[in-house]
Chain A
Amino acid sequence: NAGVTQTPKFQVLKTGQSMTLQCAQDMNHEYMSWYRQDPGMGLRLIHYSVGAGITDQGEVPNGYNVSRSTTEDFPLRLLSAAPSQTSVYFCASRTPSENTEAFFGQGTRLTVV
């Protein structure tokens, strides 16, 4: 059971570089989300999608871009990396019901130097 798979696990970028964090789920969940985790701040929502072709911004969307062309995949793009984007990134998926839990990937630790 793969669940939610994120790649890469670790990444170091130079300021100004771009990259894509990959996320795939095999549970046929409609909802997918990206969060960033910073010390003392919990997880904050970057972008989310309620289905293929539909995305929306969360609370910290600046500097990130997403698309959802299939149910399974939800990549997160950093357009021009900045040191403030150094963080641990988590992808999650769930069904649309308010009562259901989210399933998380193992995370991507990103350092921008």
Chain B
Amino acid sequence: AQSVTQLDSHVSVSEGTPVLLRCNYSSSYSPSLFWYVQHPNKGLQLLLKYTSAATLVKGINGFEAEFKKSETSFHLTKPSAHMSDAAEYFCVVSFYTGTASKLTFGTGTRLQVTL
């Protein structure tokens, strides 16, 4: 079965410091993985995706993530946090059931950015 675990429900950083949001996945084969961001009272926006090409994936707004098969991880990073990065972040795995492709969401990490 495919699953995804976000290791922190809440992360707080100071503006200008690095961001690390952790995600581990479980999959019986090489998965497609995504990171989405949700700003307060908004829908979900794609940050980046991994689809078995380069293991280091660059996304929007300076975010990037590295796929590590040996560690079954897909952690999201950003070198320098900005106040506008405060939001909830979801790690998502895509898998094929035999009849359809489905997405499984992590429980989310709320990022707080302080001055």
Question: Known: A106-B42, A107-B43. Contact between A98 and B107, CB under 8 A?
Answer: no
Q: Judge if B67 is at the interface, Cβ distance under 8 Å.
A: no
Contact with B along A36-65 (1 / 0, CB 8 A): 000011111100101000001010000000
Contact between B101 and A96, CB atoms less than 8 A apart = yes
**Nearest CB on B from A31, distance (A):** 7
User: For window 86-113 of chain A, which residues contact chain B by CB distance below 8 Å?
Assistant: 90, 92, 94, 96-99, 101-102, 104-107
Does residue B94 face the partner (Cβ distance < 8 Å to A)? yes
Q: Is B90 within 8 A of A101, CB to CB?
A: no
Chain A residues within 8 Å of B9, by CB: 40
Q: What count of chain A residues pass the 8 Å CB interface test?
A: 26
Are B105 and A42 in contact (CB-based, < 8 A)?
A: yes
Beta-carbon contact of B100 and A48 below 8 Å = yes
Please classify how large the interface on chain B is, using the bins under 10, 10 to 19, 20 to 34, 35 or more. 20 to 34
Please report whether the interface of chain B is mostly helix, strand, loop or mixed according to DSSP.
strand
Q: A45: which of B44, B95, B102 is its contact (CB, 8 Å)? A: B102
Instruction: Please give, as numbers and ranges, the residues of chain A lying within 8 Å of B51 by CB-CB distance.
Output: 99
- The smallest C-beta distance from B99 to any residue of chain A, in angstroms, reads 7
Segment 1-52 of B: residues with Cβ below 8 Å from A: 9, 32, 34, 41-46, 49, 51-52
Given the known inter-chain contacts A31-B101, A98-B94, A99-B51, please indicate yes or no for A42 contacting B43, CB distance below 8 A: no
Q: List 15 A-B contacts (CB under 8 A).
A: A40-B107, A40-B108, A41-B107, A45-B103, A48-B102, A56-B100, A96-B100, A97-B101, A99-B49, A99-B94, A101-B46, A101-B49, A102-B103, A107-B41, A107-B42
